[in-house]
Structure 1
Amino acid sequence: MKNNRWFALSLIATAVLFTLTLWFSASVISVELREQWSLTTFSETWLSAAVPGGFVIGAFISAYFGLADRFNTRKFFAVSALIGGLLNLLLIWVDHAALGIVIRMLTGMALAGVYPPSVKLISQWFPKKRGVAVGVLIAALTLGTAMPHFLAMFFVAIDVRLVIVTTSMLAIVAAIAVRYILQEAPGPAGQSSFSLGKIKQVLQNKPVMFANYGYFGHMWELYAMWTWLPAFLTASFSLQYPGMDPAMVSFLAFASIGLAGGLGCVLGGLYADRIGISQLTILAMAISAFCALTIGFTFGQPIWLTIILALLWGVSVIADSAQFSVAVSQFGGKSYVGTALTFQMCIGFFIATLSIQMLPLFQAVLGWHWVFVVLAIGPILGIISMLKYQRYTADTAVSYRKTG
């Protein structure tokens, strides 16, 4: 049973789901931490951006030194999850924002030892036809990222520290499961080496860079939406329904990010195989851009209208995520595809960190009605890039058929 690849996928996906609960474990209780940590608007924004910022640093360090290649990938995943869980647990004793932000950044660095290695583990267990497996993995990541909103429904009224403790325990359980239950994969690892010297080759590869530009636009929107949509829902519902139970808002945030996002990952993987990568990414970004442009105008309006757009946004904003990496894998040379994927991830999460930090500044000026229009810029530019990717790859295929 333990050597079955579907059992391995289930365990890896569950471990990713459990560990990624660390991502928003502090952000979802920032209102409660505001007094305890003396949070200002500036420090609260940094608290939200600390994990993706740390992830960028950790991913670059891991890729540059080839940590997932130097050490056993399964054990590296387990150690990273354990460190992340223990770091997160320290937050229950923290009483100052600066220290909390540093711990959150270190947690992000630890998570860089979880998500990228999980992709490598999947490539070992699924050397062929790994589309469904990657879709399940991204769905688990999405659901895990949203899980703290679900936990907050039960724990905030009792003690906010229970959210921290629970997410930490989930990460530690994930570490133990991967270390002691998951067996070594039967297949060889995929190409994952990184070299600064190969960056030039990545930059000169047109289809790879078109896919990268599409991904960068996608990332400008994704994590800022995941971070600030719950705050929007809270503000909007409080205006329309002042007595609304906070647990209901937490559930709606979880449904919009986690449940809808998980569905989007599965649908994105299925339809990408049918209609093609470029068509799927363009469609998904068009829908998410529409949601970003319009959801602000539901502020303070009937709750059902806001919920419909939030759920639609949750499905579309993540549906294309995995396909940008697939596009790079298809057109990146074997000698530098690892560098290309690392470059894509690091720049993408750096852009996400910027948008997370900038959105509150725009909100202060534009208000909730207009602020998400700023996020729509990302998918709109991403659509332009993927249209170029589509034309270039089509022309390349035609040229190949003529010369072949």
Structure 2
Amino acid sequence: MTAVARHVLPVLVLAQFAGTSPWFAVNAVMPDLQRELGWPLAWVGSMTSALQFGFIAGTLAFALLAVVDRYPPRRVFLLCSLAAAAFTVGAWAMVRDPQALMVWRFATGVCLAGIYPVGMRLAAQWFREGLGAAMGLLIAALILGSASAHGLRALGAALPWESLMLGVAALAALGGVGLYLALGEPPTVVPAAPRARSFDGRALATLWSNRRVRSSVLGYFGHMWELYTMWVMVPLVLALRLEGAALSWVAFGVLGAGALGCAGGGWLAMRWGSARVACVQLAISGSCCLAAPWMLNAPDPWFYGWLVLWGITVAGDSPQFSTLTARNAPPSAVGSVLTLTNCLGFAISIASILLFTALAERFPLGLLLPGLALGPALGLLAMRPLWRSPHR
């Protein structure tokens, strides 16, 4: 890496961490809201899904309008980070009104569509070599940013929950401003093709028409069936043994462990290839789903070890799926292809979240969690062409 690259990667990582921190802000304070306002368990899924719906709407609009390929990504990242901060403040101000809160969370999700995929686009522009490792660190920052609300909640257990939401909003704004001020334009940017300055159906169709892109995208979809539902269910699993600040600390540890899977997977990808790293982690996380009936009743060392292993691998394959898609997509439309892939993947995550949180009110977790293994199983099946390919 050049001296400039060494400067750029920490900036991208820190900005991604800060910019995505509003993702689970409401989830972290949901136990307080349930106690104060008597909200049912299903609201956890509803609030998460509202944000996911916003993310889908945002990514779909960004992809169809080719926003990430038409405008400077730094500017898009800045504006979306500031808007996400403002909408998180709006959620804080109207948090006791469920309908208004869902609107604010939807709007926050729209803004996150200009943070998460845009960060990946910037990484793809800066790092032609070692993209898998760069993506690993970048999505590790996303994982920590998403988990940060639980960490802040644990640190501020004695403080009003309102402080958490305002703190997350400030962090998101700092992420956008910091990236814009500290990061210059990439040294080599592939110019958008004339048709990529608006909707490019042929470029986006590579999700289905290009065999290698299709394989990585379908593997990613299987990963998304499991990932966010697992994150939503972790506090419910931990509530079987913990409460209060202890629960928040362990939830932060389990979710944040995904950063180790992302960073470590990026390092291994330089030696094994992205496809193999993604498949191995997907297989392990799927096995963790199947092991749930036994691990839920296991002694503490096995119980917590199982959760940490699951947390590491459930997220650790994500950057390698993005790397494979970015490498094989048309160069002039990488941003739009990645954004549309995110859009479809998060639609799958909504279906999974709503299904499993609704069923959690009727069935024990030991019966439900193995159902998450369906995504990894189908994802591994789709990834077979890339696993076998010598050019990974």
TM-score (norm 2): 0.91
Equivalent residue for 1:297?
294
Deviates more, 1:176-185 or 1:282-291: 176-185
Post-superposition offset of 1:45: 1.8
Equivalent residue for 1:231?
236
- Aligned residues of 1:297 and 1:370 also touching (Cα < 8 A): no
Post-superposition offset of 1:264: 0.4
1:375 aligns with 2:383: no
Post-superposition offset of 1:66: 2.3
Equivalent residue for 2:210?
205
Aligned 1:352-367 pairs, distance under 5 A: 352-367=349-364
Q: What residue identity is the alignment partner of 1:354?
A: A
Unaligned ranges ≥5, structure 1? 239-244, 398-404
Equivalent residue for 2:177?
176
1:9 aligns with 2:14: no
Post-superposition offset of 1:155: 2.0
Unaligned ranges ≥5, structure 2? none
SS in 2 for 1:313: helix
Equivalent residue for 1:47?
47
The C-alpha deviation readout for 1:270-305, integer Å capped at 9, x for no partner, is 222222333222211111011111134332542222
Post-superposition offset of 1:168: 0.6
SS in 2 for 1:23: helix
| Separation in 1, partners of 2:207, 2:44 | 36
Post-superposition offset of 1:36: 5.0
Q: What residue identity is the alignment partner of 2:161?
A: V
Q: What residue identity is the alignment partner of 1:246?
A: G
Equivalent residue for 1:163?
164
- Aligned residues of 2:66 and 2:336 also touching (Cα < 8 A): no
| Separation in 1, partners of 2:203, 2:254 | 39
Change (3 A) 1:316 1:248: same
| Separation in 1, partners of 2:254, 2:246 | 12
Paired positions, count: 384
Deviates more, 1:323-332 or 1:282-291: 323-332
Aligned 1:242-391 pairs, distance under 5 A: 246-258=244-256, 260-334=257-331, 337-391=334-388
Post-superposition offset of 1:355: 1.0
TM-score (norm 1): 0.88
* Root-mean-square deviation (Å): 2.2
| Separation in 1, partners of 2:375, 2:5 | 37
The C-alpha deviation readout for 1:323-380, integer Å capped at 9, x for no partner, is 2222223434446655543332211111111111111122233311121111111101
Post-superposition offset of 1:37: 5.3
Post-superposition offset of 1:14: 0.6
Post-superposition offset of 1:9: 1.5
| Separation in 1, partners of 2:339, 2:93 | 35
Q: What residue identity is the alignment partner of 1:256?
A: V
- Aligned residues of 1:46 and 1:357 also touching (Cα < 8 A): yes
| Separation in 2, partners of 1:77, 1:173 | 11
Change (3 A) 1:184 1:103: same
Change (3 A) 1:340 1:19: closer
| Separation in 2, partners of 1:191, 1:139 | 29
Deviates more, 1:179-188 or 1:137-146: 179-188
Select the structure with the greater relative contact order (CA < 8 A; seq sep ≥ 6): 2
- Higher Cα radius of gyration: 1
Equivalent residue for 1:242?
none
Change (3 A) 1:277 1:127: closer
Change (3 A) 1:63 1:88: same
| Separation in 2, partners of 1:333, 1:310 | 38
Post-superposition offset of 1:218: 0.5
Change (3 A) 1:347 1:246: same
| Separation in 2, partners of 1:124, 1:377 | 34
Change (3 A) 1:150 1:296: farther
Q: What residue identity is the alignment partner of 1:178?
A: L
SS in 2 for 1:360: helix
Q: What residue identity is the alignment partner of 2:124?
A: S
Q: What residue identity is the alignment partner of 2:241?
A: F
